Structure 1
Amino acid sequence: MRSALSIRGRRGALMIGLLALAHPSRDADAAFLCATTADELRDALAQVSDGGAYVDEDSVIAIGPGTFATGGTPFRSEALTTTAKLDIMASWNPHCGGRPSGPPTTVLDAGGVGGVLVVKRPHAFVYLRRMVLQNGNADVGAGLQVNYGTESAYEVSLYQLIVRNNHASGNGGGIYIAASAPPDMGAIGIASSLIVDNTSGSDGGGAYLVISGGYTSIVNLTTVASNTAVGTGGGIAATGSAATYDVSGVIAWGNTPASLRFDVPSTVASSDVDLIAPGAAVTTEEVVQLDPMFLDPAAGDYRFGNVPGLVGTGAPFNYVPAYLDDYPLPPTGGEYRADMGAYTDVIFRYGDDGGSRL
């Protein structure tokens, strides 16, 4: 299935496998499980895992608002042979009666002990959206670990996630994803997300991405900042084979030792990036180096400040989903240039003052 998100420009049309991104509804034919407590979430994940009642059915796990503590053991689902899609969609109303607009209201919190969320589903589409993953401490992918240690053959997509303050002793302080896809589909898609303040004892302080086939994997409308790696790719370390990465409309700033690193030929376009580490060949188009002047990073506020060069200079879109705070892009009958990063700048775009930007 092709993407709901299309990017147009000199690079041609690119598609990302993010389905119905801005729409709160669910597939009527999928099993629907509602989780409003940590125990209910564990039970729902077990029901879609090997041995569970819904392992071979397309499934939606809806998660209500609030903080869900892991208690030292990550939330986990493992289904090693199924081809059924799993959609974990958080930030619903209490009792999962609908999804309100606004930033994510579901927080999965490891409290500094163990990982936060682990998913192994190598032969099926995994779609994770609208949640905060924080305070993990694990060996790999402390905030989110998808298909680690498996031979992945299908797509993974993330939408409106906040991944913060996680530490891995190995690769992927915040995120570790291994994915693949058929030739006309992107293996990894990340959109409208915030990846900040994560650390890694190896590569990929914010995220470590591995692709093994498929069309172009995409990261867009995302802010990657203040992440640290002992190895390479303080923000994102992207590796793999048989495919490429396309980064567009992204702010990647203040990551150590560099914000981005690619081990396969890739493209970075219409983005604000302070440093790309040496690696495979990277084509850059309309990439700027402007301090985003984040409003209050110490308090977790990574909206960019008074930097007009980041407004309306991101990737050209015909259709995009909402930003992380759920501000939609203005409707347009033609091409529209997005703001860079995870948040729209409503001071410039809508004329609001700083107090109303969320």
Structure 2
Amino acid sequence: MNKKLRIILSGGGTGGHIYPAIAIANELRNRYPDASFLFVGAKDRMEMQKVPQAGYKIIGLWISGIQRKLTISNLMFPVKLISSLWKSRRIIKNFTPDIVIGTGGFASGPLLKIAGSRNIPTVLQEQNSYPGITNKWLAQKATIICVAYDCMDRFFPKDKIVKTGNPVRQDILEIKSKQEASLLKYNLDPGKKTLLILGGSLGARRINQLIVQKLDFFTELGIQVLWQCGKLYYKEYKKYNTRTNVQVHPFLDTMDLAYAAADIIISRAGAGSVSELCIVGKPVLFIPSPNVAEDHQTKNAKAILDQDGAVLLKESELHTVFDDVFLEVFQSEKKQRELSKNIKNLALPNATLTIVDEIERLIKSNAVTNG
């Protein structure tokens, strides 16, 4: 291919949309070192920091999602959408992309809508088992839709769907050999079981409240707790570091070692987390956030539960059932082995490569058609 490729990636609002886009861009850059890349996100959201940190240029649109209740932001949504569509037209006219890739979130909507209307090949990457409004809106004009779950033809045209899985960080693909390093890194007792708590990078208030209530319970069971409470909550919870069996961290920057250290994991059920936990293959208790669009975290967790690969606990039931459910897993090595085996069977560790294979096929097909 003589012509230098020009690729736009768009998605954001949360890490679950940003990190897959960066992973896809990195693999494309490996294959096409001379290609030009441009990211498009939402102004004032985390992608405006994370994407430049990964070495890519980004342009921000004045766009935000629709809130569930009547707010000033909702009243401004039509104005923001029109503004973002106009800016997207200018971006596409100036950059002239060969292909546009959207990884979800409201930030990707206007840009992919314009790309589709210009007949530029577009690829959607849907992380969740229940798609968001943006990807549903874009699906009819998309060329390919990469998904992580079965039965997605309920939402998208069947002939456009390719099951690929979600991109994950490469350092978690092999963690068995990292157990010793993980114990040293986190100064853990090899004679005790380790419970890893994950509420996302910002943290999960209800999970944090639960863990505080259960610290004595975990101590009585001889469990050591490795607890990512989130940046928003660290000031409130760091005092529990004084307990010998508890470590509180705002953020775990070596997730491969944290996963390697864990015997049991309590986690939210965002799409990225679920995909990683399938690869990690440890017993998981999912506590989905009920405060996300379309309750998609519960649906993500249920897709694993339906294959007997995890335990699902609703926030509303925590105060009544947590102890019994936790003990059922903790006290049965057979149950732990079954959960580990079943969740591992659902792993799609080569997702990034598979997605980029599909993108590459589309690029080559389009080059032949236009050649």
Q: TM-score, normalization: structure 1?
A: 0.30
In our comparison, the structure showing a higher alpha carbon Rg is 2
Larger RCO, structure (CA 8 Å, separation 6 or more)? 2
More helix by percentage: 2
More strand by percentage: 1
Q: TM-score, normalization: structure 2?
A: 0.29
